[in-house]
């Protein structure tokens, strides 16, 4: 019983530490007020494509030179939370913290198929 609790606690710590580090980093960036107003590189294109999808311009005037799945995902999130970028960034922090758990299990089980979990 104690061993099981220790494993769960370890996995929780393995998730929560990266989450906290990324959350602190996000808050430090938010103190720089320009960050959420100026999107760089791929972020700009993904958000622009997401808002064009929301505005019923799914096909667009140009060809997507990137995979459209992430802009579709962003469009769904922006539609749910009325275009608030902070909420999307928090969800991305959550997903990237789960990725730390996936990498741990890949190494532990020595199996690349664990990533499909």
pTM greater than 0.85 (yes/no): no
pLDDT in tens, 25-63: 888 877 776 555 566 677 778 888 888 888 876 666 666
* ∠ CA 75-78-84, rounded to 5°: 150
Which residue range(s) make up the domain with 109? 2-116
And the tokens for 102?
């996936």
**Side-chain half-sphere of 116: how many Cα atoms within 13 Å?**
3
SS3 48: helix
**How many separate domains does the chain show?**
1
d(CA 48, CA 8): 40
**What is the reported pLDDT for 21?**
93
For the chain, the distance separating the N- and C-terminal CA atoms, rounded to the nearest angstrom, is 25
């Amino acid at each position: 019983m104690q061993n099981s609790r220790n494993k769960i606690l370890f996995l929780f710590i393995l998730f929560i530490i990266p989450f906290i580090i990324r959350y602190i980093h996000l808050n430090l960036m938010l103190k720089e007020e320009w960050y959420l107003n100026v999107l760089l590189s791929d972020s700009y294109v993904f958000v622009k494509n997401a808002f064009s999808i929301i505005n019923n311009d799914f096909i667009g005037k140009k060809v997507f030179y990137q995979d459209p799945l992430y802009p579709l995902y962003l469009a769904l999130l922006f539609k749910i939370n009325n275009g608030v970028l902070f909420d999307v960034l928090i969800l991305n922090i959550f997903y990237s913290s789960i990725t730390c758990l996936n990498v741990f299990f890949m190494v532990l089980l020595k199996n690349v198929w664990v990533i499909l979990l």
